Amino acid sequence: MFKAMIAVACCGLAGTAAAQEQAMDIPIVFLSRTEEPRLPLSFVDPVVQDPGVWGARLAIEDNKTTGKFLGHEYELIEAIVPADGDVTVAFQEQVEAGHRLFISDLPREDLLKIAEHPDAADTLIFNGRVEDDDLRTDTCHAQVFHTALSRSMRTDALVQFLVWKRWPRIFLLSGTQDHDVAYADAIRRSAKKFGTEIVSEDTYAYSPVARRTDSGHIQIQQQMPLATQEGGEYDVLVVADESGIFGEYLPFNTFSPRPVAGTHGLVATSWHRVQEQWGSTQFQRRFTEIAGRWMEERDYGAWLGIRAIGEAVTRVGSADVDALRSYLRGEDFALGGFKGVGLSFRPWSQQMRQPVLLVNKRILVSASPQPGFLHERTPLDSLGYDMPETRCALQ
């Protein structure tokens, strides 16, 4: 008995020593810029406060849960650049402080500034916001991983569903701003990829109306049918209005009685408050308890980035940037994201593979990839640009 007690004690000391050898501090910088909150079209929808950072805060607590058993201490550093501030200065200050792991909740221009900064080569930057496809196909950076959906992943997910529903004829109505044009281009690509037909196209130049006056709804009721009466014979109206200017008015106001999808109506998204499947109810509840609101896409993108770091550090046993990058790009990496399958990164673009939710404001309608859309590696790679379509050379 005495020998057994000695053996147990020795094992305990050995375990403590091993844990101390593995002990490390892992600071993660959440980098964002002060912006005016985006006002919703309806008073029913809340004004989202502090998008992105609450997802980072929740993920840090999740990392700490596992890390405390391994001696891994996670710290979230919130670096918020003023609206007129220089993001490159803020980034350089964090690098000089010894920080190498970044969550970018920045618009495209700022993301490119830090990705192309001379000090960025020895960092990892997780983009949880920008969805532009060219950052996954042409303008690629070895240190940038994308947890935000690409725009093509959204449109592929939507068009797959239209094919599954046997609604192959599309009327594409697009706004005129740059993001709207980019979404419309992505829809055209997805339609060609999956064999649907865009039977009609039109653009909509928004003219503001007094929505909250007594006659506001009458003006909308008159404008929308006029804007959609040239669609001809189609199955679904796909709206490209990323700016959120007119698309909300289209359901039930189209000239022909047809469903609305795209940026409004049936929407493809990485996360939404209606998501309750695959164990996500508790996840949603934990977020609302700390943030006081529902989780948004930018929150989810930041959460995925920090959780990916935590998973990699746990498996590798190191916070070395090169070791983490190698593991994140490898076949062994898989992250639980409450979507029913493990999430991983495509090595050719460092875009996170993930199912895409198709939702309206009340329910989860479906999730893509749809049944029957196969791929030689994984059905998840049927969404977005595949390896032969990418001109990046990420080693």
Q: Is 117 left (phi over 0), alpha (psi -120 to 50) or beta?
A: beta
Rounded to an integer, what distance in angstroms lies between the CA atom of residue 189 and that of residue 180? Answer: 14
Closest CA relative to residue 51, chosen from 270, 302, 271: 302
The pTM (predicted TM-score) of the whole model is 0.91
Quick one: 147 exposed, middle or buried, by C-beta within 10 A (0-12, 13-18, 19+)?
buried
Mean predicted confidence (pLDDT) in 140-169: 98
According to the model, what pLDDT value does residue 243 have?
87
Tell me the torsion sign for CA atoms 61, 65, 66, 68.
positive
Q: Where do the CATH 3.40.50.2300 domains begin and end in the chain? A: 19-149+272-354, 152-269
Mean predicted confidence (pLDDT) in 163-183: 97
Cα distances from 240 to residues 125, 175, 327, 354, in angstroms, run: 29, 6, 37, 23
Reported as type and span, the H/E element at residue 200 is: strand 197-203
CA trace torsion 299, 301, 304, 308 (10° rounding): -130
According to the model, what pLDDT value does residue 15 have?
41
Class of domain 152-269: alpha beta
pLDDT digits (tens, 9 = 90+) for 327-375: 999 999 999 999 999 999 999 999 999 999 999 999 999 999 999 999 9
pLDDT category at 46 given cuts 50, 70, 90 is: confident
Closest CA relative to residue 46, chosen from 363, 360, 295: 295
According to the model, what pLDDT value does residue 129 have?
98
According to the model, what pLDDT value does residue 206 have?
64
According to the model, what pLDDT value does residue 5 have?
40
Average pLDDT, the chain: 90
C-beta separation of 288 from 135 below 8 A: no
Say if residue 179's pLDDT is above 60.
yes
In the chain the beta strands, taken as DSSP E runs, fall at 24-33, 72-81, 101-105, 124-127, 144-146, 169-174, 197-203, 236-240, 260-262, 266-269, 335-336, 342-345, 352-353, 356-359, 364-368
pLDDT digits (tens, 9 = 90+) for 290-325: 999 999 999 999 999 999 999 999 999 999 999 999
pLDDT digits (tens, 9 = 90+) for 180-195: 999 999 999 999 999 9
Maximum Cα interatomic distance, the chain, rounded to a whole number of Å:
90
Residue at token pair 């805060």? 57
Quick one: 129 exposed, middle or buried, by C-beta within 10 A (0-12, 13-18, 19+)?
buried
Residue 35, both tokens: 């912006």
pLDDT digits (tens, 9 = 90+) for 195-237: 999 999 999 986 654 444 443 454 567 788 888 988 899 999 9
Reported as type and span, the H/E element at residue 388 is: none
Q: Greater confidence, 47 or 277? A: 277
Closest CA relative to residue 346, chosen from 313, 384, 319: 384
Residue at token pair 């829809």? 187
Class of domain 19-149+272-354: alpha beta
